[in-house]
Amino acid sequence: MKARAHPLWIAFVAHRVSGLALALFLPLHFWVLGMALRGAEGLDGVLTLTELPFVKVAEFGLVFLLALHAFGGLRLMALERLGWSSGQKTMAATSIALAIFVSGTFFLKAI
């Protein structure tokens, strides 16, 4: 079926793909964390890599995926667990989006 491009389907795919991508990242994450147990030298060696531009871009992608997956999960829980009407859900989503926009703007100005 080709015509799946409705918002809920896209939200479903975004949630699944971000979850899979984060799951793929986890072994690397634990490997780096595990280095801390074996001394500072190895960990610092890997952490210097985070100064590289492409690693910074990858970190941006990682935070983006985390945000996408976290909000996707909250959306799903609200959809399935709260007996709200669709109008109430739209208002809740709009107010959360506005709050993030306003607080994000202040945060970006602060740093």
Partner 1 sequence: MSSQKAERQLKVSVWRGADAGQFETFEVPQHDSQTVLDIVSWIQHNADPTLSYRFACRVGMCGSCAMMVNDEPRWTCRTHVNKVARDGELKIGPLRNLPVVKDLATDMDPFFDKWTAAEAHHHPSADRHDLMAPVDMQSADRVAANTAIECINCAVCYAACDTVAGNPDYLGPAALQRAWTLIKDEKDSGREDILAAISGTGGCHNCHSIGSCTQYCPNELDPLSAIANLKRETVKNWWKRNA
Question: Where does this chain bind partner 1 (CB under 8 A)?
Answer: 1-4, 6, 8-9, 12, 76, 79-81, 83, 86
The first and second tokens of residue 61, run together, are 């992608």
Q: How far is the CB of 97 from partner 1 (least distance, A)?
A: 19
Cβ atoms of 25 and 61 closer than 8 Å: no
Q: How far is the CB of 7 from partner 1 (least distance, A)?
A: 8
Cβ atoms of 43 and 36 closer than 8 Å: yes
Q: Choose between 38 and 81: whose C-beta lies nearer to partner 1.
A: 81
Q: How far is the CB of 85 from partner 1 (least distance, A)?
A: 9
Q: Which long-range contacts (CB under 8 A, 24 or more apart) does 1-9 make?
A: none
